[in-house]
Amino acid sequence: MGVANSAEQPAPCTTEATGEYSIASMKEKLNSPDDGACGFRHQVTCLGDGTCTLDTDKTDCRYEDGKVILEYFVNLTPGVWTPAERDPLIAIKGKIQFWSCSNDYNKRRRRGVDYPDYDFEQSNDNSSIATDDSESVHHLAATTVGVATVVAITALLSFLVVRLRKRRSEDVSTP
């Protein structure tokens, strides 16, 4: 989502942003189950038809390279096994709105900070990125095997050094 940034105002979803465009307020908007205009539930197919639930702990927003990046994660009910089954369910139907919301998300508003100069527009990239959590499991398993191997080799070398010293001391003490 491209954002035309004003030099005077901090960008949405940054640590400098305040009021309704702060990270906390943006997450609240995006995860809202009852806002009439804003949030993922209006545009993510499976949230609309009830075949998934929004994982609000993983939902995130950030500002990178002049774009507001909105990430959502869902838990499909029932689960699906293939990307061909998953992709239509998690598809975005339109713009994920986070401006002009029906609820008030302006918790800590400073005077004069209205973000009037931002132009929010939808990019053509509505693709979803599926993360493969099994990759992190492979890294964990490889790390565990590596650490176990180092510990085993260290223990074996220690045992051999102690035994060698004991044998030398026996050789020296025998007449």
Q: 153: alpha, beta or left, given left = phi > 0 and alpha = psi -120 to 50?
A: alpha
78 cis-preceded (ω within 30 degrees of 0): yes
Average pLDDT of the chain to the nearest whole number? 77
Cα separation, 115 vs 119, in Å, equals 9
Q: What gap in Å lies between CA 78 and CA 124, rounded to an integer?
A: 30
Q: Are 68 and 140 in contact (CB under 8 A)?
A: no
Q: How far apart are the first and last CA of the chain?
A: 87
pLDDT tens digit sequence for 20-50: 888 888 888 888 888 888 888 888 888 888 8
Task: Give percent of the chain above pLDDT 70.
Answer: 73
Q: pTM value?
A: 0.54
pLDDT tens digits along 1-11: 455 544 567 88
